[in-house]
Amino acid sequence: MRKRKHGDEFSDAFNEFAKEMMGTLNIWKTELEEKFTEVNENVSNVIQKDLAKLTETTMSLKEELNSVRKEYCEMKSSIQKISSRQCEMSEEIISLQNSAQFSSDQLDDINGKIESLTQEAKKANLLETEVKDLKYQNKALKLEMNDNNQRDRILNLEIIGIPEQSNENLMNIICALLKKVDDNITPDEIERAHRVTPKNKVQGRPRVVIAKLRSRMLKDTIISKSHYCGGSILDVINLTIGT
């Protein structure tokens, strides 16, 4: 009996732990979803800004290239103008070099941001793997909790038809009923007793009483002997309530 009592305490502690784990998992899940949303928004903003800058730079380069082509045609048509325009052309070439350098710097910056996005994607994949692991652990905990609940229900004895009274002592009532079945039963063999409302409640019918016993063998003995006991169970109930 002492071992079973410690087992019950362990079961309660485990159920409490499972509830805490469920709460922690839900918090982690919410935080991960918020992080995913934030990362997606940041990536979208960065890409849009970089594309806008790249488009602007490309248009500028096209305009400058068109200008160079025009000047090149003018150079072919009049060699005499080459000397007079040499300084101007040198300045334009320098401007083109600066523009090309600027475009190169922009490309380097884009490559760096792409690398950063790649790292963020790897982190997101790791987070997704962790979420899958947590879901698997959560499923295992639910299965284990369900098994524990099923084992607890095996010890429950359902009694229907006991009238409800104010300030009733269900332990005394159940003990009196079980003694009617087997006089050797003691109150220590009844762990607890409480009423529950059935799914299909009938007007005027008392709620069902659930008594949790210490062992499955005791439950089987009570069910077996209850078919052969004499007297009226309602008499026992009324006698117990009156005393």
Q: What is the pLDDT of residues 29-56, one digit of tens each?
A: 888 888 878 887 887 788 888 788 888 8
At residue 2, does pLDDT exceed 70? Answer: no
Higher pLDDT among residues 168 and 152, named by residue: 168
Q: What is the pLDDT of residue 148?
A: 66
**Sheet containing 190-196: order of strands:** 156-159, 208-213, 190-196
Q: What is the pLDDT of residues 172-198, one digit of tens each?
A: 888 888 888 877 788 888 888 889 887
* Best CA proximity match to 26, nearest among 141, 145, 146, 124: 141
Give dist(CA 82, CA 73) in Å, integer: 11
Contact 208, 195 (CB under 8 A): yes
* Best CA proximity match to 178, nearest among 219, 124, 119, 120: 219
Most confident range, picked from 7-16, 147-156, 179-188: 179-188
Q: What is the pLDDT of residue 199?
A: 77
Spell out the long-range contacts of 214-220 with Cβ–Cβ below 8 A and sequence spacing 24 or more.
Answer: 214/1, 214/4, 214/155, 214/188, 214/189, 214/190, 215/4, 215/155, 215/189, 216/154, 216/155, 218/185, 218/189, 219/154, 219/155, 219/157
Give dist(CA 67, CA 60) in Å, integer: 11
pLDDT band of 100, cuts 50, 70, 90: confident
Structure tokens at 2: 């002492």
- Give the chain's mean pLDDT: 78
Q: What residues are paired with 196 via a beta bridge?
A: 208
Contact 121, 178 (CB under 8 A): no
pLDDT band of 149, cuts 50, 70, 90: low
Q: What is the pLDDT of residues 50-66, one digit of tens each?
A: 788 888 888 888 888 88
pLDDT band of 151, cuts 50, 70, 90: low
Strands 208-213 and 156-159: antiparallel
Q: What is the pLDDT of residue 17?
A: 82
Higher pLDDT among residues 169 and 143, named by residue: 169
Mean pLDDT of 206-224: 85
